[in-house]
Amino acid sequence: MPSHPFEGVTTVIDAFVYDAVRTPFGRFGGSLATTRPDDLAALVVRAVVDRSPGLRTDPGVVDEVVFGNANGAGEENRNVARMATLLAGLPTSIPGTTVNRLCGSSLDAAIIASRQVETGDSDVVLVGGVESMTRAPWVMPKTEKPYPAGNLELSSTTLGWRLVNPRMPSEWTVSLGEATEQLREKHGVTRERQDEFAARSHRLADAAWGEGFYDDLVVPVPGVDLGWDESIRPDTTVERLAGLKTSFRKEGGTVTAGNASPLNDGASAVLVGSAAARERLGLDPVARIAGRGASALDPQYFGFAPVEAADRALARAGITWADVSAVELNEAFAAQSLACIDAWGIDPEIVNRHGGAIAIGHPLGASGGRIVGTLARSLQRSGERWGVACICIGVGQGLAMVLENVTA
């Protein structure tokens, strides 16, 4: 018998991305406004199952469904992962859990799945995320005393702080836009650079759709006439963006509706499994999940948190930025994206080559799954080896994942 419980244990289980899909992302109040978030989630769950020969035959191969969602207060019914699994017609024996790390929720779901696979707890995990920012409800706290005589105020759950604890320092609870203004001041990001970055996002997203890059990544929503991401504006120019008024500061501001991500609706899904799952799924893996990283800092500087998260993920993958050929960085705001790119010292041209969230949209809980799926397919098509998917998260957090192309 071994003298130590781990003596002689050398088996390493790797986690792989096998497939990824998403819906087109709709504008706030746009084409997906009449579609419930649990139905959007069920749609991408079913799509992943139908695209796998093994899952079509036996969906019970899925060990668990993990979904990200930043709201949960409305039609998601608290645990949208379980709701989506049931609505998609999967066996009731498949458990489901919902994770909330705000904007990073579905990337967190993929990270959770990779750990389950690597520890041997699961062989196949279906992950993803969903958000309907249009249908996010208003909420009202219960009164401390019954029968209040005065008016009561509703709070929107669409985005940002709500029902804030008065013990929170005021510098932490500024709006996301004001926080970004503070971040760009700290890192010297100009309005001109932000508008150029935003115009690039629209140009590249439009080109990627036109070239068919997203054809295999996006599934239509039944009954909805929406072929592309609804927020893409092909005619966007730096000159037009320069003419927009600032949104959060009347004097000295730089952040506008044009150089920030919009409010959106949509869902994404990613199929994660072990090497052994290949035979059960009837699919070849696309990318190995090689490193993960999480970080946190002062809440008002949330947009800079991906810097440390990505650096940690690279270190755990055993590579450096010099090895990286593609980056999917969720564009919450142009200013924070540029601050991260500058800090890494990387070539901006390897970042979001198929457009980013400023153009495509940012339905909070779905964005992490979108960038993982886009990165995996981008590496597969280019033949490049290493890529990084990373995202900033409100209240001062960041997440990152390193993928290794295994199709080259």
Catalytically active residues, by annotation = 103, 362, 392
Tokens in use for 336?
A: 């924070």
In terms of Cα–Cα distance, which of 183, 398, 400 is closest to 295? 398
Residue by residue, what is the 3-state secondary structure of the chain?
CCCCCCCCCCCCCCCEEEEEEECCCEECCCCCCCCCHHHHHHHHHHHHHHHCHHHHHCHHHCCEEEEECCCCCCCCCCCHHHHHHHHCCCCCCCCEEEECCHHHHHHHHHHHHHHHHHCCCCCEEEEEEEEECCCCCEECCCCCCCCCCCCCCCEECCCCCCCCCCCCCCCCCCCHHHHHHHHHHHHCCCHHHHHHHHHHHHHHHHHHHHCCCCCCCECCCCCCCCCCCCCCCCCCCHHHHHCCCECCCCCCCCCECCCECCCEEEEEEEEEECCCHHHHHCCCCCEEEEEEEEEECCHHHHHHCHHHHHHHHHHHHCCCHHHEEEEEECCCEHHHHHHHHHHHCCCHHHECCCCCHHHHCCCHHHHHHHHHHHHHHHHHHHCCCEEEEEEEECCCEEEEEEEEECCC
Q: Give me the phi and psi of 396, to 5 degrees please.
A: 85, 40
Contact 385, 404 (CB under 8 A): yes
Contact 175, 248 (CB under 8 A): yes
User: Which residue bears the tokens 């927020």?
Assistant: 231
Separation of alpha carbons 13 and 343, rounded Å: 33
Contact 378, 25 (CB under 8 A): no
